[in-house]
Amino acid sequence: VNASPTAVISGATSICGGGGTTTLTISDGASTGGPYTYNWSNGSIAAASNSISTVGTYTVGITNGVGCSATGLQAVILNPISVTSTGGTSSACYVNLNAAFAAINNGTHTGTISITVNGSTIESSICILNASGSGSASYSSIIMQPTGAYTIQGSFSANSLITLNGASNVTINGLNSLTLANTNGSTVAGTGTLLFINDASNNVITNCTVLCNALMAVGTTGGPIMSSTTSGITGNDNNTISYCNL
């Protein structure tokens, strides 16, 4: 009885938005012996490795030297948030904005930082950007812009989708294409979309649609954009919101 191969696919299973690629490689986990032939679902790629630039699910057949075959299956997903910086790790991509902010807070990216939104995200945790100098965060400025019509959204009660926690010199320019949305219809105070707190200063939010589904009573704190009480020294100063749809 001839032994059948075992299809094993290796390689990064995500690609960066904005033209990223990954390479998937098929091998015979059972080492049944070649010469091997291959058949990838995205064309007649007669090689063990295949460069992937499109999100999707890929199958590949592997046939060993005695004609026995096996098929492997691998999904490739998009990491739509790209980050570049002049210090630290110069370029990386993330599955959502929360992960990108966490990397900045941890000092992975430093100096002048650019965040590019290459696709929509659904945030499962609130996106908190800390002040430079707080913990490992170290940046001089941050700019975030989209490459198309995308939405960053999440559902949070008593919290904001995005919190600038002492963060300063941050610009979010939606280029009339970016929507920020908290979809939670909560009546609880503090439910919002964008929050300035703890001396968040010199920030610019422009050309964005900022939506909040909160249903608080009149006089209850909440809504698309909030400036909160602070434990800082100077307060949340010199923040500019311009040309936004609220």
Per the listing, tokens 């209850």 go with: 220
Q: What is the pLDDT of residue 230?
A: 75
- How far is 35 from 54, CA to CA, in rounded Å? 29
The answer to whether the CB of 180 falls within 8 A of the CB of 213 is no
CB 203 within 8 A of CB 167: yes
* Regions of the chain short of the pLDDT cut 70: 44
Radius of gyration of the chain (CA): 23
Reading the block at residue 38, the tokens are: 């291959």
User: Which residue type occupies 82?
Assistant: S
Residue found by looking up tokens 């492997």 in the block? 72
pLDDT at 232: 76
Q: Phi, psi at residue 100, to the nearest 5°?
A: -65, -45
Provide DSSP, 196-241.
Answer: EESS--S-EEEEEEEEE---PPTTSSEEEEEE---SSSS-S-S-EE
Closest CA to 212 of 226, 223, 227, 228: 223
Burial class (CB in 10 A: 0-12, 13-18, 19+), 145: middle
pLDDT score recorded for residue 44: 64
Q: Identify any residues that bridge with 72 across adjacent strands, giving them in sequence order.
A: 60
**In this predicted structure, what is the pLDDT of residue 1?**
72
The structure tokens listed for 28 are 């015979």
Return the amino acid letter for 61. Answer: G
Please give the pLDDT value at position 104.
98
Q: CA 94, CA 96: separation in Å to the nearest integer?
A: 5
